[in-house]
Each structure stands twice: as structure tokens, then as C-alpha cells.
Structure 1
């Protein structure tokens, strides 16, 4: 059998890498590097143009320079520290670790030099960790920006007596640097151990082994000393997060931690410093392993005794038998600081009797409240708008918002919905570059309807609707209905081109427009056009389009959430932007922005969106122009230390609240996100008694109600906060816009209080809580829902409607405080199974044990209270009759003229339906068919009565 290794016994194999040309690898690597650099440079160029178009170039360059500085500083520092440590180790062990050696491989001697592997590996590790920490610190630029521009704070925590700014601004940077140093120290320690192991060759003289052993212990001792110092710093800093650690009962430092654990951690850090000193001594005295073991044993012993044994014993045998007494001062810290962190320390408490008499409602004095009770659910209204106001399939209403406007000399509560363009819904045959990029560029207008009115057909009563825009009130005019920036505008478009833009459908033809705004980036010359085409992945179309000229503009990042996150990524934004009509008739988006932290001392963490935070402020209101895309940030809470630091960092970005135009300022509102988390916190922290808090005797929950789930089925769910235009009990102002959140006791359904966030004028941002009397039961939403279910007439009516090819949708139950009483309001909608277009058919009212209903709000009030519930009719009020199949008083027979009018109406509607179907306008045809069906039902009813 032949020898697979035909090598003589005295021949030595050299396993060094073969010498071969590597120019191909270098060329490929250089090409990749050039591509990465060019792509990154292009991204920077586009960002510079975009920030410049918004007027915030200074913001971009500050962030860019800070990121670049952090990346370079920590890249170079990491490489310098690691490379310096490796160089010292190489010098120390050069004679032993890097000496060529021979090993036996398959009974053959193989010679290799460790230096040829260790040195490249050391460089790889050095560069890899340098890049890692360069990018890591670059991502933490916000922490460093706050550290360099931190605002002064006077509040100090009750344990360490350090100012609040230390935890919000300084500690995050200290933690990051400490973690960085600890990692580097650990790498160097591991490297010293590896180099020491390489000093033990297969054949070495005892004298050499002795000398190399001393060098190994010296290197390990120095590396261990540095490592122990880094651990000491980390241990010292690890004491502070106990201030915001969540425990089962409360958050923050406990009795055991304050008196035993935290002092023990301090002594552990001291012991680590002592251990580091012993390691340094060992490096120069070369006492060997015993001193190193002693350097480790001291901090370990202190840790086991002080951090593990003693706190466990104290907690089990001293604290637990008398937990309330021991923890009372720390629970009080938690209550006070949590209320401060969530803006609850200034809550104004008031008593509310919640009587159930007609006199307690005081209808005459609270007419403004009654006239503005919202009868339209936003979900039902959104479904209806998509059927009757989208007009074309490529329009959409992504959201419905509640606001207030002055109409006819009175403040009225209205509901608005922006009509946005969704190019994803264009017919497949129309999905081409010209249509998507040049023609279908924007949405158009909005709908606005009063929140408490509906037509005889159960449809909303519009103040603004249709295309072109039709307004039914002189106070509201819209001069710029085009929406280029919104919630559905997720594509880039080119405007001011030779191609006219589709504006809105009108009859058999369409109306076109040309963009006249200042938004976006000008296309400019050929070079910029090519760069824009590359950046926008449009190289196959943009460079060759004759429609796009040098004066054209490209609108990028048009989604309003993308705009604000791009300009100010350090703020947290509300998920519910809402549209406002200015007095000049322009459309603007208003968006609430928050500052948050998870490091506020003695405050309990709560979920806000995707973040766990224990501090939040609604510090900023953002205004975005729907036509130009310009954005402005207004500071509404100048006392917030976080926003004060951000203002110092970006002085050109923020403006005072007083600088907001008055017509937009009048539409600022208390944010739902804020009151939702405040309600969750207040449910636990409304009590300021440590004993009650510890025993959980008085916990509140947000009230539950029956609401629609994803399958339109009614199920129990927490009430969402809702806006009400009302006169607050105890206030002289006739009506104001407030956000309401009702409460029930934990695990019970009766109401115990309600919270109100104020939105108007000087009262903006104030929080009120009305407490109910403890002496009697006040029914909650679920209990009122049960009373409605138990009403025989209503139950029968619902069953009847559900058997006629339709289904009943019950709206959200609203609890409206009026006078000294509570009025419960629930709208009921009827929706055809084949068409998701809810129609408002019934209004149900309740006041404690009594339930009333009617085809209108006034009729329901009369049914509930008799003649005392009637309110004087509004001038020019349209009839609000909604459904002839609902319970009603007997009516007189109609005349023959009415019958003939209905027949003529039915014929005309059917002819319109046929015409629209033949024209392919299926959406409008469907609406006409629904109207025709209702007319036939009315005709059948009238004919039967005659």
C-alpha cells in the first residue's frame, strides 16, 4: 500500500500560508469599499437637501458631526487601547510565545510560527471591536447630546441626594463608558492568559520556563488589576438603578436595599479596588499565584456576605414580619415620585354627587353640553365615509378625529376625516410610473360633520364634504384642499412637471392642477437629477423623462410620521395626528410629541406604546403643512428638563408655544396617549396613604364597556378616552373641550370617579379628578349595558333588525357628566350585511336605573324624562328622524302626493343606478342602490299604512 504522506523522517513541513498574488481580492475589496462610500455619501447628500428644504440644516449637521465624532473617537480609542495592550504583550512574550516550534501531525513533524497567526488575529480583534464600539456609541448620540447640553435640576433623590439631572443626563453616559472599559479590560485579560499559555512549548529549558512563568504572572497581574478597577467602577454605578427597579408592591429602593444592599455594593467596589492594588503589587514583586488569589478572594467574600447573605437574612427575618412598618417611608417615596413623574402631583380633586334626577341635570344651564353630545362613533363614521365620500376607489379615510370649531357664533363639536390618496388602490391597468409618480400625487380635502346630528336616512350631517369642496357654513372655508403630506402618503412623487396632476373627479371628466408650493427638493441640473434618480431607485425613468424639468420638485418622506421622526428622532410621537383647518383655509396636521425616560427615581414603569417608561411629558406640539410639508415644533412644557436640554442642543428647532398661530392654537387638545397612561398610573397612585397603597385596598381601573372587536363583535374592553364639549361641574365657562376617562374600582363594575384633561386657553394641560360618593352605588358602563340588554322593547327591536339582512352595531357608551348627574349615551347603528355602511338608527340614554331611547336625541330625552326632558329646538334645525321601524308614537296616514313623490324618487334612483353601473362607477352605484333600497322600504311602509 502506498504511503499517503511520502515525506522522509527528517523533512519538516512548513504550514505557512502559500505566497500567491492577492491583487484580485484587493480589487474586489476596494470596489466594495468605494460602493459603500459612494452610497453613504449619496444618502448624506439627499439628507442635506431634505433638511435644507425644511429649514433645519443646522439640526442635521449637529447630529451628523456628533455621530461622526463619537464614531471616530471610540473607534480610535478602542483600537489604540487594544493595539497598545497587544503590543506590550507581544514585546513581553516575544522570546517565548512567538518562537518557531514543531508539532507532530500524523506522525510527521510540522513547523509553524505562532506569530504568523496571532498578530493578524490581534489586528482583526482590535479593528472588529473598534468598529463595534464606534457604531455603538454613534447610536447613543442622544445620550451624549443630553450630557453635553444638560439643563440644571434642583430636585434630588431621597437616597443618594443626587440631582435629577444626574440620572437623566449623566448616568446613561457613565454606564456606556463603564461598559466599554469593562469589555476592553476583559479582552486584554483574556489575551494575557492566551499569551501566557503560549510560553509553554513542547521542549523548553527549565530556566527559560521559569523566566517565562514570571513574565506570564506579571502580565496577568497587570491585566487583572485593570479588569478589577473596571469592575469596581461598574459595581459602584450599579447601585443607582435600584432607584427605579420595580418590585411586586412598589418601585424604588426598599428598606433592605437602602440599609444593607447598597452599602454592601459600595464596599464591594472598595474591595475590588484593593484587589486591583494587590494585583499591581504582584506584577512587580512577582509573588506568584497566592497574591492573585487574595486579590480575587477579598471582593468575592465581601460580595457573598454583604450582597447575598446579609440582605437575604434581613429581608426574610427582619423586614417580612413587619413589612409595612419597615417599608412605609420608601413606599411614600414611590408614591410621591411616581405622581411627579407622570404629572399627577398637580391634579385637582373635586367631589361629584352623581345624582339621578332631572333636576340634577340642570338642562337649562347645560344646554351647550347637551347640544354637543357625540352620537357618531369614529369607527362607524369611518365605515360610512368610505362608502359615501371616497368617490373613487383610490381615496381613503385613514382616520376620523374629534375637534371643535366656532359655527354660527357657537362652539360646536365636529368630526373630521382627511381624504387621502392611496396609490396602492389604483386599478392594475393604471399602475404605471407616470400615474403613480406624476399624476396621482395627492389627496383632496376632508369631510367635517357635526358630532351630534344625522339626516333622516341615518347619515352624517356634513359641514364640509364632496369634491370639489362644498361647505355649508361661512366660518369654514378651504382654499388649499390638496393633501401632499399625510398618513397614507408613503410614495415619492414629482410635482410642477409638464404633466398635469389629477386633482379630483368631476362629472364625466376630471379636474387637474399643478403644484404651486415650496415643498420638496428641486430637481435642478443633470448631475443632481442623476444623483436623485440613484438615491430614489429611479434610474430607469427619471433621467429620461421629458415631463420632469429642472424646475420640477421631488417630494420625498411625505408621511408625516416619517417627517417628524426624521427631523427630531429623539421625541416620541402620538399615534393620532389630526387635521386642522386654518382661518386662511389651509390644511395642517397637529401631532403631539412626548419626552420619556426610564430612569426617573422611585417611579414605577408603565407601558407607553412599545416603550417601558417611568417619566413622560407632553412637551411639544408639532404642526405640519399638508401642502408644503413644512414642520414646526412648539414647546408647551418649558419646565420639562428633557425638553430644556433638547432646546439647548437644537436652538433653531423649537419655538415657544406663544409663537403658534392663534387659529391653530385654538385646536390644541389634551392628548389621549398621555391621559391613558396617567389614568393607569392614577388608578394605583391616587391614594397618598402608604398603608392603603401597601394593602391595595383602593385600586381603580379604567372602566370597561362593550366595544367592537376585529370581527365587529361586542366584547368587554377598557373605555378609550373621549373628547367632550361640555361645561365642567363647578366651572363658570359655558363649555370647554375636555378629554374624559371614567374609573371603576378594581374587579368591580360600578363607577367611582372620572378624570378630565382640559384643552382650552389658559386651562390647557390641567387635570381634574371628580370623586363619587362612597355611600351609594353609581352604576358603571357595563352595568348600564346590562340594563339596555334587559330592556324588552330594545331587545325585541335589535332581534328584529338582525333578522332582516342587516345587523345591529352598538356604539361606544359615553358617560357624560352634566350638572350634578351622569348621562349615559349609546348610539345604535344598522348596517346591511352586504354593505359596511352603518346608519345611525337609535339613540339610547340612561341615568342610573332608568333607560330611554328614541329616533333622535330629543326623543330619547323625552322618553327618559317626559316633558321635562324636552329642549327648545335649534334654529333651522333639520329633522332627525332616523328609522320608521323603531318604537314610535302613532302617525297620521300620509297623503297621495307623498306616495307619488316616493314612487318618482324610487324610479329616478333606479335610473341613476343603471347609468352609474354602465359607466363603471361601481362605488357610486352601490351608494345609489342603498338609497334606492331605503326608498322602497319607505314606499312599502307608506303603502301598507294607506
Structure 2
């Protein structure tokens, strides 16, 4: 009879070891797949999006660069690790001394059994993946390396073309750093392999490392020495970015101390290589220890302490003379890298007196002085033209249009969809029904209606236009600024095109080119995973022809298509040929321009694409994005830029030549805001050409202080930057805020025609901002024939005039202005008097300062343009219109016209502005004087303890202030 242990068991001995391994691998693979599904869906939908816009080659090109790099470096690492592990196995000793250490290692070998070869391959591949895949992140360096260009300019120290620094050096440095890390890892892996194979013994007497093992490790250490030798050789070029001296770039200590130290370290590394190789035939580790010790000593003393000594005791005592040639190099390189090398400097003497003839010759300049700034106009548009809660006008931008035969500066704001304002919060309402914004609002910046509001030339829902050039045939805004949600079009739910003020609804069906088909189950599932939203997968409203629109923010759209470009913070809408498009300025940048100073970016908004470290920039691309169908065209507007040449070579189908820009669109190109901020900020120092002047900084400039904060903060608008800012942006500044650049349509001094320019004034630099005299102003031209030209107008050092901050203070101190501001703004009268932007207007050989004054009622929160303030030399005048103010200043004024006729809401018919019926300023002044007297008497009564008298006089004063406020609010302005 069999014992129980002898009875056969059903199923044998269970799953084999191989089966368990296979099942484990499958389980791990399934887990990885499940956790990667969203990433896979994102990858797939990205491909569909690029393909839908016609940029599939860009997607595959970037992907191909990443895959090629990963494959190359994984393969190299795999071969290196595997070969060295195999060599370590081949060099294993045949006999091993017994002992506790050997017993542990024997168990390890028994565990591997016959799978040693497989283990080596798998472990080598895993390590190779670990160290090799990361190099795919250097795809941009790889693209530039393989498409490198010459700049045609050589660096001052090594006489090497700048293209080597920008295109080749970054990738070569990255490869060397990777190789050094890989070989350090190889040494560790090889030592571990030799230990496991018995070639290294730590717990035995006598020889612990065999001669063959020592030879193997010595060769690897020798290769590391060679890598360091090449690294030190290339590191010489990195001195061109040194920050040790008074300026960036190679300076005295770098050239005379650090460079010789690097050359010595190069020789020491070569000597170390020789010692490591010689060590193969010698006993012990004396030579390797000597090599490493010598290298460490030289690196620490000669490479570190010696340059610090030279800097401290040779350079600092006579810094200006020692650094002079290197300052000269830095000035030239910085100007070339930041586009400041061709600035035309012209003298501007403001000591002249304006005559009636001067005013007549500059009538168009005076007519186009901007009274409405973008921040104020945005408030007006939001209050009067958003129409429905689900529309928003989040940004207002400056442009120019030809209306009634005259080029006029305009302020344009797109009416976009505000998803959180959609009345129904259902998924269908927010993604299928309410899909887009509607049209735009346009008004000239230089005129107002009879009631103090802007002259709206494009307004309302449905759109009403006062000029055919402002007509929009496809007013749907599917792509705009700040749109971060997706929508699905061509579904069973009708899209609401718009709802007018009477809540009458008009429907539409999207027929644009943008969008990815979402008819198949695969795509629905992919988008459900991408957006973490299951409803696109199960919704019964989607058809086979439905399309999904996503990445709808214009900046994000351009950045996604061209991740190697930096995007300006302020895209702006343009109406041309019946369509509305956004113009997005894009930059090529690098921080690898030799001897150039890093750009100062503290005056940029936090969401600017230039808010990173760079020392070279070009506005090489203007991307044009259709607001309706989302199509993107990238025009190369600076074909001389070597960086954009390289990207054109890498992605030939991505860019369009500037020659193909339609003339109508080119007329709306404007010099970009972010670039001008950087250039003007740097020009304050880099207008100095002589090294001594540059070092002393006694003649340096700073961008003028912001007059909004230079005056009384309670009375100035917290306005959007004068060029029209990106929504929500804040500008970081040092000390007092700096004046924003702004666009003007004007005749420059010495010119014979009006031009669309951007202007920014300068004052002397001072640590405490105490110097506020005007020293210069720079303009950037935007008209097609001279686009991008920078002109600096410098005032004589002995004839400087008050700068914007001083003029703002003078205006603030003016009796009429201070009465209006103080009494109306601080005594609770129900209205607030607020300043607009202070505009510097150069006219012939003089400077006018113009500042509008607005009245805002608490009940409406709509700023109304009521007064125009002009400061000229030591005079300040306040009048209802620009023309009246000029007449009061100079005794006469050119006819500035009535401006452009607005569109009367609801009619679509242009109507002329009303005639002014403003009460005499003296009446208001008399009321304010009486109010001030009553306030004084109330204070005296309070001091005397007469509370009843205090209350009576205080109420009397408030009543007088309200009468003055009502008089001002009822006073219609006129077009200026």
C-alpha cells in the first residue's frame, strides 16, 4: 500500500519557471499599458491636431529627432556596458580562495544558473535606457547642430565664427558631459562585475585585484581622462559666457588666468591618461593615485584659487583700465546680438518755440494723439459691448486703419467666449452649443462722442460697421486669447452664433478648416482620455462629421506648433478682407552668443515668452492665426537670422516667405512690444560706446519713471500697458515702475510724413530715481518701407527738459487739475476723476505732454473723456478738446477735424458727433471754490467743538461738490 506521499498529484508540479516569468512579464506589460493610456492618447491626438493644420511634418520631424537621439545613445550605452560586463566575465579567475565572501558570491552565481548571458543583456539594456533616453531632450540642440549656419561674425577672443558657439558647441558639450557620466558609471559597473566574478577580493590577504582586472579598470580611467582633456579644450570657448568680470564674456581674469589654467588642465588630463595606461604594466595603484591627485591640485589651485587671486589683487584695483578692451568687445557683441547695432542716433534740441506754422505742419500728429489708452478703453468695452455674460473683451490692442481716407490709430478688442458665463452649466451647453465668441469692437483712440464715450466704428451684436474695411464676414471667434477649453462642432446640437441685446438667438454651423474628426470610436476614446472626460465617448449628439477644436489659445497654438520659438505676450487682432486674424510675434533666442550681455527682462510680463535667460534675439517670425478657422501661417520676416535659417532647413514646409505676406496684412504689422521693452531697457546702458563712459555709467540712462505712480496714486489709472497688454499680465520692475512703450501715429522730428511708431523716453540713471529730466527717446518704426528701424533722439546734456514724472507732478500741482482731482476724487461725490496715460509728443524742436482726464460715475463704472491736459514748457492748460487746449496754449490751432463718425447703435448708420455744450469752466471752478471754503469752515467748527455747525457745513460742501460733479458729467466733450 502506498503512503500518501507516494500518491500521484493531479496537475503535476504546477506552472514551470518559464511560464511564471512569461506571466509576470505580461502582467507588468499590461500594468504599464494601462498607466500609459492617457499619454498614448495625448500622443495620438497631438498627431491628429498637427495633421489637421497641415504641420504633420513638423510633428514627425521633432519626434524623429528625439527617436534618433534616443536610439543612438541607448545603442552606444548598451554596447559599452555589455562589452565591459562580458570582458569582466572573461577575466574571471578559474580558482577562488574559500571564505565567507566566496560563499555569498557562489549563491549569487547559483541563482543565475545558466541565465548569466541573458542577465547581462537585460541589465545592460536597462542601464542603457536609463542613461541614453534622456539625451532625446537635447533634440533642439541636435536639430541646430545638424543644420548649423555661419553668422559671418567672429568672436573677439578665439576668432571663431559665432555659428560654432550657437549651433555646434552646445551639442558637443552635451555629448561630452554624457560620455563622462557614462564612463564613470562604466567604472562602477565594471568594478561590481569583477567583484561578482571573483576578480576583486576585499577580504583576502595578498593581491586583491588581479593584473588583468587592473588593466581593464585602468583603460576605463584613461578614457575618462581623455574625455576630460577634450572637455577642458572646449571649456575654453565657454569663457565667452563668463560672468566673472564687470561685463559678461571673457574678461581680463578669464583671458590671463583662467584660460592658461584650462590649457594646463588639458595637459594634466593627457598626462593622467598616459599614467593610467602605464599603470597596466606596473604593480599597485600609485600612478593612478598620482594622476588623480595632480589633477585635483591643479583644478583647485590653478583653476580656482589663481584666477580668484588675479581678479582680487590685479583687476579690482585698476578695473576700468584692465577691463577696457573686454568692455569694448561686450558693447559690440551685445548691440549685434540684441539688434541694437544699427540704431540711428539723431540730436534733438527741444529749446525751440512752436509756431502756428509748426502746428499746421504737424496737424496729423496732433490729430492722432492718443487720448484713449487700452486699459481705459477695455473698461468701456467691457461695460458697453460685452452684451451677454458669456462674452468677454479681455484685451484691447492698438493698430491703425485707413478710415475716410485718413490713417487713424484704432483700439480693437475681440469679443470672446467666456465659458464660465454660459447660462447652462451642462457639458452640452459648454462644449457643443456655446462654442465661440462674436466679432470685435473698434474705435479711434483720438476722439469721443458728445457724452464722452468713444466713437465706436464697429460694435454691437449683430455687428454694425461704419466702414467697409472693418466688415467681418465670419465674425465667429473660435480661436483667441486665453481660450483653454475644447468644443465640438457639427453635432446634433445647434451652435448658438449670437444672442443680441433682446436675447434673440441666431444659430450657425461651423464650416472652417480647423478641427479633428471625432466620428470613430477610437478617436472618441482617445479624446475622452486626453481631456479626462468620458462624455465625448458616450454622447449621442456627435455625428460622423463632427469635429473637435482644441488648443484654441493663439499663443499656445503657435508655441505648440513651433516649440523652439519664444512667443510675445501680446497678440493682436487685425481685420482684413472680411476676416479677423491674430498676429502673433515669435522670436528666435539663444544664450550662446559670445561676449554678449544677458538681456534684462525684469520689465516683461510674467507670461512673456522672453521671460527667460538669453543674450540674442530676433523677431524672425510673425504667425498669423485665423480667428474663425484656426489656420496658422508663419511668415519669416527676418530671413537674415541664422537661427531661423537653421529651422527652415530642418522644417522646410513650416514657414512661408515674407514676400508672400499680403500687402493689406503687412500694413498692420507693428514692432513687437516685448522686444522693444528689452531693447530700450538695454539701450539705456549700451548707447555708450567708449569703455570709460560705459564703466563709469555717469551718462547712462534709464527708461522714464511711470507717471501713473509718479503722481498721486489715488488719481491715476491702474492701466493696461500702453501698447495693449496680454490679459492679466503684470510687469515686474525695479524701484519705481517704468513707463510703458506706446504706439503713436506721428511725424518724427525732421521727417516729412506721418509714421506708425513705438516710443519710449529715457531719463538719467540714478539708484534712488531722483533724476527725472528727459534725456532721450527711442522710436521703433512699423511702416512697411522702414519696418524695424530704430532711431534714438538724444537731447543735449545742457538743454534737458522735464521728463514724464516731473510733468505729471506739475500737472498734479496745477490748481484747476488738483481741484478736480482732490475734491471729486476724495470727497465721496459719487464720481471719480482719473488720469489716462501721459503721452510724450515730440513736435519739431519741442515736446508736448498730453494727458486725458476721465470722469467715472460709481453707478456706471464707465470712464467718460471730459478734459484734455497739455503741458508745454512751464505751462499747463486744461480744456474740453485737444484743439481748444492748443488754441489756449498757442493762440491758434490747426483744424483737427471732427474725427471719424461713430456708428449709432442699432442703425448701422454713421452719425456726426454732437456739438459741445460744456458749461464754462469758471462755473465749475466757482462751485469747487465754494465747496473748499465750506469744508474749511466745517473743520474750524469741529476744532471749536461745534458739532452741529460742522455737520451743517460738511453737508453744504458735499452738496456743492455734487453740483460740480453733475456739471462735469453733463458736459459733453467733442471730437478732437
TM-score using structure 2 length: 0.83
* Alignment partner of 2:427 out of 426, 430, 433: 433
Give the aligned partner of residue 57 of structure 2. Answer: 58
Can you list the C-alpha shifts for 1:508-529, whole angstroms capped at 9, x where unaligned?
A: 4211111122211123444444
Conservation of the 8 A alpha-carbon contact between 1:737 and 1:760: yes
Give the aligned partner of residue 335 of structure 1. Answer: 331
Can you list the C-alpha shifts for 1:164-189, whole angstroms capped at 9, x where unaligned?
A: 11011101110110110010111123
Give the aligned partner of residue 254 of structure 2. Answer: 257
Single out whichever of 172-181 and 816-825 deviates more from structure 2. Answer: 816-825
* Alignment partner of 1:823 out of 848, 870, 875: 848
Structure 1 position 35 matched with structure 2 position 34? yes
- Separation (CA, whole Å) in 1 of partners of 2:79 and 2:110: 21
Deviation for aligned residue 1:133: 3.8
After superposition, the Cα gap between the structure-2 partners of 1:632 and 1:886, relative to the gap in structure 1 and judged at 3 Å, is: farther
- Separation (CA, whole Å) in 1 of partners of 2:717 and 2:473: 42
Give the aligned partner of residue 909 of structure 2. Answer: none
After superposition, the Cα gap between the structure-2 partners of 1:940 and 1:50, relative to the gap in structure 1 and judged at 3 Å, is: closer
Deviation for aligned residue 1:835: 4.8
Structure 1 position 160 matched with structure 2 position 195? no
- Separation (CA, whole Å) in 2 of partners of 1:133 and 1:195: 18
Map 1:66-77 → 2, pairs under 5 A: 66-77=65-76
- Separation (CA, whole Å) in 2 of partners of 1:778 and 1:96: 94
Structure 1 position 220 matched with structure 2 position 220? no
Give the aligned partner of residue 513 of structure 2. Answer: 518
After superposition, the Cα gap between the structure-2 partners of 1:740 and 1:166, relative to the gap in structure 1 and judged at 3 Å, is: same
Deviation for aligned residue 1:758: 0.3
Deviation for aligned residue 1:543: 3.9
After superposition, the Cα gap between the structure-2 partners of 1:883 and 1:425, relative to the gap in structure 1 and judged at 3 Å, is: farther
Give the aligned partner of residue 237 of structure 1. Answer: 234
Considering only aligned residues, what root-mean-square deviation do their CA atoms show, in Å?
3.2
Structure 1 position 729 matched with structure 2 position 767? no
- Separation (CA, whole Å) in 2 of partners of 1:839 and 1:96: 98
- Separation (CA, whole Å) in 2 of partners of 1:50 and 1:203: 63
After superposition, the Cα gap between the structure-2 partners of 1:70 and 1:890, relative to the gap in structure 1 and judged at 3 Å, is: closer
| Secondary structure in structure 2 of the residue aligned to 1:612 | coil
Map 1:410-421 → 2, pairs under 5 A: 410-421=406-417
Give the aligned partner of residue 283 of structure 2. Answer: 287
Structure 1 position 540 matched with structure 2 position 565? no
After superposition, the Cα gap between the structure-2 partners of 1:357 and 1:659, relative to the gap in structure 1 and judged at 3 Å, is: same
After superposition, the Cα gap between the structure-2 partners of 1:213 and 1:423, relative to the gap in structure 1 and judged at 3 Å, is: same
| Secondary structure in structure 2 of the residue aligned to 1:687 | coil
Deviation for aligned residue 1:23: 6.6
Conservation of the 8 A alpha-carbon contact between 2:350 and 2:846: yes
Deviation for aligned residue 1:455: 2.0
Give the aligned partner of residue 764 of structure 2. Answer: 745
Conservation of the 8 A alpha-carbon contact between 2:855 and 2:969: no
After superposition, the Cα gap between the structure-2 partners of 1:232 and 1:670, relative to the gap in structure 1 and judged at 3 Å, is: same
Deviation for aligned residue 1:71: 1.5
Give the aligned partner of residue 573 of structure 1. Answer: 567
Deviation for aligned residue 1:42: 3.6
After superposition, the Cα gap between the structure-2 partners of 1:96 and 1:379, relative to the gap in structure 1 and judged at 3 Å, is: farther
| Secondary structure in structure 1 of the residue aligned to 2:791 | strand
| Secondary structure in structure 2 of the residue aligned to 1:224 | helix
Structure 1 position 717 matched with structure 2 position 737? yes
Deviation for aligned residue 1:53: 1.4
After superposition, the Cα gap between the structure-2 partners of 1:790 and 1:527, relative to the gap in structure 1 and judged at 3 Å, is: closer
- Separation (CA, whole Å) in 2 of partners of 1:187 and 1:235: 20
- Separation (CA, whole Å) in 2 of partners of 1:825 and 1:100: 96
Conservation of the 8 A alpha-carbon contact between 2:356 and 2:892: no
Structure 1 position 837 matched with structure 2 position 862? yes
Deviation for aligned residue 1:121: 10
Give the aligned partner of residue 756 of structure 1. Answer: 779
Map 1:106-125 → 2, pairs under 5 A: 113-115=107-109
After superposition, the Cα gap between the structure-2 partners of 1:478 and 1:312, relative to the gap in structure 1 and judged at 3 Å, is: closer
| Secondary structure in structure 2 of the residue aligned to 1:431 | coil
- Separation (CA, whole Å) in 2 of partners of 1:712 and 1:237: 58
Can you list the C-alpha shifts for 1:129-152, whole angstroms capped at 9, x where unaligned?
A: 533444422121111011111123
Map 1:602-641 → 2, pairs under 5 A: 602-608=595-601, 609-641=610-642
- Separation (CA, whole Å) in 1 of partners of 2:896 and 2:533: 63
Single out whichever of 74-83 and 611-620 deviates more from structure 2. Answer: 74-83
After superposition, the Cα gap between the structure-2 partners of 1:822 and 1:298, relative to the gap in structure 1 and judged at 3 Å, is: same
Deviation for aligned residue 1:695: 1.4
Give the aligned partner of residue 464 of structure 1. Answer: 458
Structure 1 position 549 matched with structure 2 position 572? no
Can you list the C-alpha shifts for 1:658-716, whole angstroms capped at 9, x where unaligned?
A: 10111111100111111111111111110110111111121110001233799997795
- Separation (CA, whole Å) in 1 of partners of 2:591 and 2:98: 55
Figure out how many residues of one structure are paired with residues of the other and give that number: 869
Give the aligned partner of residue 8 of structure 2. Answer: none
| Secondary structure in structure 1 of the residue aligned to 2:457 | strand
Can you list the C-alpha shifts for 1:700-759, whole angstroms capped at 9, x where unaligned?
A: 1000123379999779520111000001111122x1100001111102111100000000
Single out whichever of 78-87 and 134-143 deviates more from structure 2. Answer: 78-87
- Mind listing any 5+ residue stretches in structure 2 that lack a counterpart? 1-16, 602-609, 719-735, 902-911, 927-961, 972-976
Map 1:847-858 → 2, pairs under 5 A: 847-858=872-883
Give the aligned partner of residue 652 of structure 2. Answer: 651
- Separation (CA, whole Å) in 1 of partners of 2:785 and 2:963: 49
| Secondary structure in structure 2 of the residue aligned to 1:475 | helix
| Secondary structure in structure 2 of the residue aligned to 1:827 | strand
Conservation of the 8 A alpha-carbon contact between 1:756 and 1:768: yes
Can you list the C-alpha shifts for 1:415-454, whole angstroms capped at 9, x where unaligned?
A: 0000000112223xx0112111111000000000010111
Conservation of the 8 A alpha-carbon contact between 1:453 and 1:880: no
Give the aligned partner of residue 306 of structure 1. Answer: 302
Structure 1 position 562 matched with structure 2 position 556? yes
- Separation (CA, whole Å) in 2 of partners of 1:103 and 1:20: 33
After superposition, the Cα gap between the structure-2 partners of 1:808 and 1:128, relative to the gap in structure 1 and judged at 3 Å, is: farther
After superposition, the Cα gap between the structure-2 partners of 1:20 and 1:201, relative to the gap in structure 1 and judged at 3 Å, is: farther
After superposition, the Cα gap between the structure-2 partners of 1:48 and 1:96, relative to the gap in structure 1 and judged at 3 Å, is: farther
Conservation of the 8 A alpha-carbon contact between 2:555 and 2:584: no
Map 1:124-523 → 2, pairs under 5 A: 126-127=124-125, 129-194=127-192, 204=204, 206=205, 209-210=206-207, 212-247=209-244, 249-283=246-280, 285-304=281-300, 306-355=302-351, 357-359=353-355, 362-427=358-423, 430-506=424-500, 507-523=502-518
Give the aligned partner of residue 80 of structure 1. Answer: 79
| Secondary structure in structure 1 of the residue aligned to 2:207 | helix
Give the aligned partner of residue 790 of structure 2. Answer: 767
Give the aligned partner of residue 781 of structure 1. Answer: 804
| Secondary structure in structure 2 of the residue aligned to 1:678 | helix
After superposition, the Cα gap between the structure-2 partners of 1:400 and 1:884, relative to the gap in structure 1 and judged at 3 Å, is: farther
Deviation for aligned residue 1:941: 7.8
Runs of 4+, deviation exceeding 6 Å: 109-112, 116-125, 708-715, 888-891, 933-936, 938-942
After superposition, the Cα gap between the structure-2 partners of 1:779 and 1:96, relative to the gap in structure 1 and judged at 3 Å, is: farther
Conservation of the 8 A alpha-carbon contact between 2:366 and 2:896: no
- Mind listing any 5+ residue stretches in structure 1 that lack a counterpart? 1-17, 892-932
- Separation (CA, whole Å) in 2 of partners of 1:795 and 1:124: 82
Can you list the C-alpha shifts for 1:47-106, whole angstroms capped at 9, x where unaligned?
A: 232122111122111112111111222222223222322333344346689x885379xx
- Separation (CA, whole Å) in 2 of partners of 1:707 and 1:807: 16
Give the aligned partner of residue 10 of structure 1. Answer: none
Deviation for aligned residue 1:111: 8.5
Conservation of the 8 A alpha-carbon contact between 2:156 and 2:329: yes
| Secondary structure in structure 2 of the residue aligned to 1:261 | helix
* Alignment partner of 1:878 out of 913, 917, 920: 913
After superposition, the Cα gap between the structure-2 partners of 1:732 and 1:314, relative to the gap in structure 1 and judged at 3 Å, is: same
- Separation (CA, whole Å) in 2 of partners of 1:886 and 1:44: 67
Deviation for aligned residue 1:838: 2.2
After superposition, the Cα gap between the structure-2 partners of 1:457 and 1:623, relative to the gap in structure 1 and judged at 3 Å, is: same
- Separation (CA, whole Å) in 2 of partners of 1:258 and 1:410: 59
